[in-house]
């Protein structure tokens, strides 16, 4: 078989959403899996709705996700230009070819594509114009995901509007021919256009590419397709929130594709190795932000310390440039971040999760406070802790643990009897990294100050 050539063909008319990202990813995976070519083609023929902002967003999002293209804008290639707005000459040339086959006619200033079959003119009340109905056989699409699909295309359709602009169906098919596309992998919303496309390919006398229509992404809650307005729909949002692109790629690959078993975290090399179009589900995939958060956590957990700290810093700098954390000493920042690494699901949790390490002005959760102060004799425990701090060994977590245990031993109590009140005292809450790690990083003085503050309040 000849080399696989696939394309991602977005229109720069809106934000880059996860449906587009997944279509791009499936094309990229298929190209990498087969040793084929991944092409980026920009379908920017809608002059009114295109914008440079959205175009750049396509480039940025693909770069961020690591979906590099082999041919397309910025990298060039044999079959360019890769922006439809620059391909007027190609469309004119192909229009002449089609005219030469006798499969077009002019009506109302537009150019129409002529289906084959017995014809009759019918006035369409709704559209207030005459259309040409054609008695013909259904078009058959052998879709790699959907299987055999039949659709009856029984009406001639416009390919070049009266203003001279070719329509989507025409430019899309011409470019797939001119760019030697072998597989058209795209969202299922285009299945309804495919019969028109197949008839055009046939009229040009070229082989019809293989089609693979990917199922829709359903919204997390409730019926219907995920739309650009749904929470979690935009790639930009994940970028801002500090998600790891590798985690998002992993998550997106599982939206509609099943590698077998219940595999979750898979390195991209393995996804490339296993990915194939028959493995894509026919049924729709439901978006699940908890699963995404979980996968992101798995990726965060295995980042080497330096990388994690670097990413944490980048996140603070981009989203919380005024955070006191950024004014702390680098070594302290590092220690706090590494203490938190195994405890968080996403970088976006870090500012709140670590706030009390960097300021005395941290929030004390009133509910937690009420609960902790109502159980046992917390004031007595605070007294005991404060009194013993001077002889605590602060050098390591286990030394701190031993110090607390020794203190407990003297009062016939256990480590656990001090935990909740100590935690409330130094952090204002009941969730966080290990209490011994917190003591170690905050140091004797701050711990003493904070415990005294709680006792006195
Ligand atoms: N420009 C079309 C879209 O953004 C792509 C159609 C296709 O992939 O064939 O939906």
Asked if residue 412 is part of any domain, the answer here is: yes
Length of the chain: 457
How many domains are there within the chain? 3
Give the helix, strand, coil percentages of the chain, each rounded to 5. Answer: 50, 15, 35
Tell me if 45 is assigned to some domain.
Answer: yes
Mean pLDDT of 246-272: 93
Measured in degrees and rounded to the nearest 5, phi and psi for residue 6 equal -120, 160
- Stretch 50-65: mean pLDDT, rounded? 96
Q: What would the mean pLDDT of 358-374 be, rounded to a whole number?
A: 96
**Percentage of the chain exceeding pLDDT 70:** 100
**Residue 175 Cβ contacting ligand 1 at under 6 Å:** no
| 280 shares a domain with 311 | no
Let me know whether 12 and 25 are in one domain: yes
Pocket test for ligand 1, best of 5, 7, 8, 11 (most atoms within 8 A of CB): 11
Say whether pTM exceeds 0.75: yes
Ligand 1 centroid to Cα of residue 332, in Å, is 50
CB neighbour list of residue 42: distance below 8 Å, 6 or more residues apart: 9, 10, 11, 12, 55, 58, 72, 73, 82, 83, 84, 85
Q: Which residues contact 393 (CB under 8 A, 6 or more apart)?
A: 399, 400, 402, 403
- The answer on pLDDT for 425 being more than 80 is yes
Same domain, 271 and 333: no
Whether 43 is in the pocket of ligand 1, judged by its Cβ within 6 Å, is: yes
Q: What is the pLDDT of residues 404-417, one digit of tens each?
A: 999 999 999 999 99
Domain contains 408: yes
The pLDDT score that the predictor gives to residue 262 is 81
**120 domain-assigned:** no
Q: Is 340 in the pocket of ligand 1 (CB under 6 A)?
A: no
Mean pLDDT of 180-196: 97
Task: Quote the pLDDT of residue 127.
Answer: 86
pLDDT reading at 360 higher than 90? yes
Token couple for 215: 């199922």
**Distance from the alpha carbon of residue 193 to the mean position of ligand 1, in angstroms:** 10
User: Which residue CA neighbors atom 4 of ligand 1 most closely?
Assistant: 10
Residue 43: give its domain's CATH number. Answer: 3.40.50.620
User: pLDDT (tens digit, 9 = 90+) per residue, 108-145?
Assistant: 999 999 999 999 999 999 988 889 999 999 999 999 99
Residue at 207 is within a domain:
no
What atom of ligand 1 comes closest to residue 23's alpha carbon?
8
The ligand 1 atom at the shortest distance from the C-alpha of residue 8 is 8
**Domain containing residue 381: CATH number:** 1.10.10.350
Residues forming the active site: 228
Handedness of CA 284, 4, 208, 45 (dihedral sign): positive
pLDDT at residue 136 in the model: 96
- Whether the pLDDT of residue 10 is over 80: the answer is yes
Please indicate, yes or no, if residue 37 is contained in any of the structural domains. Answer: yes
Residues 7 and 36 in one domain: yes
**Whole-number Å distance between alpha carbons of 379 and 146:** 68
- Atom 3 in ligand 1: residue holding the nearest Cα: 10
Residues 457 and 436 sit within 8 Å (Cβ to Cβ): no
Residues 331 and 390 occupy one common structural domain: no
Residues 412 and 433 in one domain: yes
Question: Which protein residue has the closest C-alpha to ligand 1 atom 5?
Answer: 9
Q: In what order do the strands lie in the sheet with 157-160?
A: 104-107, 110-113, 157-160
Same domain? 314 vs 376: no
Q: Is residue 77 part of a domain?
A: no
Instruction: Report, as an integer, the average pLDDT of 178-191.
Output: 97
Transcribe 220-245 into DSSP letters. SSSSSB--TTSTT-BHHHHHHTT--H
Kindly give the distance from the C-alpha atom of residue 178 to the centroid of ligand 1, in angstroms, as a whole number: 16
Q: Tell me, using a 6 A CB cutoff, whether residue 172 lines ligand 1.
A: yes
- Tokens at residue 307, please? 């990388």
Q: Are residues 429 and 387 in the same domain?
A: yes
Residue 280 DSSP one-character state = B
State both tokens at 3.
């080399």
- Asked if 420 contacts 372 with a C-beta cutoff of 8 angstroms, the reply is yes
Q: Are the C-beta atoms of residues 259 and 312 closer than 8 Å to each other? A: no
What is the span of the domain harbouring residue 34? Answer: 1-71+215-302
Q: Name which of 119, 112, 88 is nearest 162 in CA terms.
A: 112
Longest Cα–Cα distance in the chain: 101
322 and 249 part of one domain: no
Q: Each residue of 196-253: pLDDT tens digit?
A: 999 999 999 999 999 999 999 999 988 889 888 888 899 999 999 999 999 999 999 9
| Model confidence pLDDT, tens digit, residues 151-183 | 999 999 999 999 999 999 999 999 999 999 999
- 243 close to 311: Cβ distance less than 8 angstroms: no
Among candidates 146, 233, 235, which has minimal Cα distance to 185? 146
Please state the φ and ψ torsions of residue 359, each to the nearest 5 degrees: -150, 155
User: Which of 38-52, 226-240, 369-383 has the lowest average pLDDT?
Assistant: 226-240
**Residues 340 and 417 both lie in one domain:** no
Residue 404 pLDDT: 97
Q: What is the arithmetic mean of pLDDT over 390-396?
A: 96
Same domain, 314 and 295: no
Q: How far apart are the first and last CA of the chain?
A: 78
Clarify whether residues 34 and 17 are in a common domain: yes
pLDDT of residue 1: 62
Residue 117 forms part of a structural domain = no
- The mean of the pLDDT values for the chain is 96
Is the confidence at residue 335, as pLDDT, over 90? yes
Cα 11 to ligand 1 centre (Å): 7
Q: Kindly state the helix (H) or strand (E) to which residue 384 belongs, with its residue range.
A: helix 378-388
């Amino acid at each position: 078989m000849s080399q696989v050539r696939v394309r991602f063909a977005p229109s720069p008319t809106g934000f880059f959403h996860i449906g587009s990202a997944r279509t791009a990813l499936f094309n990229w995976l298929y190209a990498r899996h087969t040793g084929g070519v991944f092409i980026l083609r920009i379908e920017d023929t809608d002059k009114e709705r295109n914008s440079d902002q959205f175009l750049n967003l396509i480039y940025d999002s693909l770069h961020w996700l690591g979906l590099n293209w082999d041919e397309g804008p910025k990298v060039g290639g044999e079959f360019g230009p890769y922006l439809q707005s620059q391909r007027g000459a190609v469309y004119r040339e192909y229009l002449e070819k089609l005219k030469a086959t006798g499969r077009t006619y002019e009506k109302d200033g537009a150019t129409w594509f002529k289906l084959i079959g017995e014809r009759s003119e019918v006035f369409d009340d709704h559209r207030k114009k005459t259309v040409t109905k054609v008695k013909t056989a259904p078009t058959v699409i052998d879709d790699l995901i959907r299987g055999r699909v039949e659709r009856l295309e029984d009406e001639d359709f416009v390919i070049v509007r009266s203003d001279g602009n070719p329509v989507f169906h025409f430019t899309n098919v011409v470019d797939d021919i001119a760019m030697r596309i072998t597989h058209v992998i795209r969202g299922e919303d285009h299945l309804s256009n495919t019969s028109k496309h197949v008839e055009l390919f046939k009229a040009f006398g070229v082989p019809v590419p293989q089609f693979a229509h990917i199922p829709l992404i359903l919204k997390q809650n409730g019926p219907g397709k995920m739309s650009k307005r749904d929470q979690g729909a935009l790639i930009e949002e994940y970028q801002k929130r500090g998600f790891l692109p590798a985690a998002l790629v992993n998550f997106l690959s599982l939206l509609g594709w099943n590698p077998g078993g219940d595999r979750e975290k898979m390195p991209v090399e393995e996804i490339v190795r296993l990915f194939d179009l028959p493995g894509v589900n026919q049924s729709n995939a439901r978006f699940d932000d908890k699963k995404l958060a979980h996968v992101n956590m798995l990726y965060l957990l295995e980042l080497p310390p330096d990388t994690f700290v670097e990413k944490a810093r980048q996140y603070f700098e981009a989203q919380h440039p005024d955070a006191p954390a950024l004014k702390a000493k680098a070594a302290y920042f590092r220690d706090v971040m590494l203490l938190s690494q195994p405890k968080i699901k996403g970088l976006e949790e870090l500012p709140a999760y670590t706030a009390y390490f960097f300021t005395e002005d941290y929030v004390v959760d009133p509910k937690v406070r009420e609960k902790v102060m109502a159980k046992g004799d917390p004031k007595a425990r605070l007294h005991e802790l404060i009194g013993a701090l001077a002889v605590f060994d602060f050098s390591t977590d286990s030394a701190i643990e031993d110090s607390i245990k020794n203190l407990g031993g003297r009062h016939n109590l256990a480590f656990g009897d001090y935990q909740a009140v100590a935690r409330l005292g130094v952090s204002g809450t009941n969730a966080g990294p290990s209490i011994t790690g917190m003591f170690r990083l905050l140091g004797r003085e701050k711990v003493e100050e904070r415990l005294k503050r709680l006792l006195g309040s």
